């Protein structure tokens, strides 16, 4: 099952992943389609079945990540209580996407708290890793420009 191939859902119980799979809405999107824009209501978690999706942030659309691995999740804002998505997701190729409503997903987490807790731990790890990646990129940019004053204590 493709959901289990992604980091967030890998190794979960068959009962849990079967329940998730029954609630997924499958869609096919053309190259150039937006799955969501920064500021849109964060109502769904998306899971990539196939294709490539670019995540970008900010007014200038700075590319933050390319999602292309089957089973990878995007639209995490829906999981962490944010009202809106913090980035935009654009299909770089035709993409098959499965999405699940955040309220439905939270109900499943309530029925399977052990799996829900593991997903949130994995999500925290991913967010931490991406934060460190961004810190290192910003630090390198400041070094290239010869500016100081940027510091991190973590």
- Residue 85 is assigned to a structural domain of this protein: yes
Residue 133: what pLDDT?
78
Q: Are 64 and 57 in contact (CB under 8 A)?
A: yes
Residue 151 belongs to a domain = no
Distance in angstroms (rounded) separating the CA atoms of residues 124 and 102: 17
Domain count for the chain, please give it. Answer: 1
Q: What is the pLDDT of residues 4-55, one digit of tens each?
A: 788 888 889 999 999 999 999 999 999 999 999 999 999 999 999 999 999 9
CATH of the domain at 43: 2.60.120.10
In a domain, 104, yes or no: yes
What domain range is 30 assigned to?
A: 2-145
Q: Which residues contact 97 (CB under 8 A, 6 or more apart)?
A: 26, 27, 28, 29, 35, 46, 47, 48, 49, 51, 53
Query: Rounded to two decimals, what is the model's pTM?
Result: 0.82
| Nearest-angstrom CA–CA distance, 101 and 105 | 6
- Residue 63, in any domain of the structure: yes
Residue 46 lies in a domain: yes
Domain membership of residue 84 (yes or no) is yes
- Could you tell me if residue 150 is inside a domain? no
Contacts of 96 (CB under 8 A, 6+ apart): 26, 27, 28, 29, 48, 49, 50, 51
Please give the mean pLDDT across all residues of the chain: 87
Write the CA distances from 92 to 52, 87, 95, 121, integer angstroms: 5, 15, 8, 29
Is residue 152 in a domain? no
């Amino acid at each position: 099952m493709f959901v289990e191939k992604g980091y967030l859902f890998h190794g979960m119980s068959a009962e849990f992943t079967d329940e998730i799979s029954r609630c997924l809405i499958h869609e096919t999107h053309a190259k150039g389609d937006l799955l969501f824009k920064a500021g849109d209501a964060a109502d769904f978690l998306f899971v990539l079945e196939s294709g490539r999706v670019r995540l970008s942030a900010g007014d200038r659309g700075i590319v933050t990540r390319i999602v292309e691995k089957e089973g990878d999740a995007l639209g995490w804002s829906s999981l962490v209580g944010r009202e809106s998505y913090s980035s935009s997701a654009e299909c770089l190729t035709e993409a098959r996407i499965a999405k699940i409503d955040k309220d439905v997903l939270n109900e499943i987490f309530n029925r399977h708290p052990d799996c829900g807790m593991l997903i949130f731990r994995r999500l925290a790890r991913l967010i931490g890793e991406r934060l460190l990646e961004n810190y290192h990129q910003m630090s390198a940019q400041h070094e290239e420009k010869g500016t100081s004053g940027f510091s991190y204590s973590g």
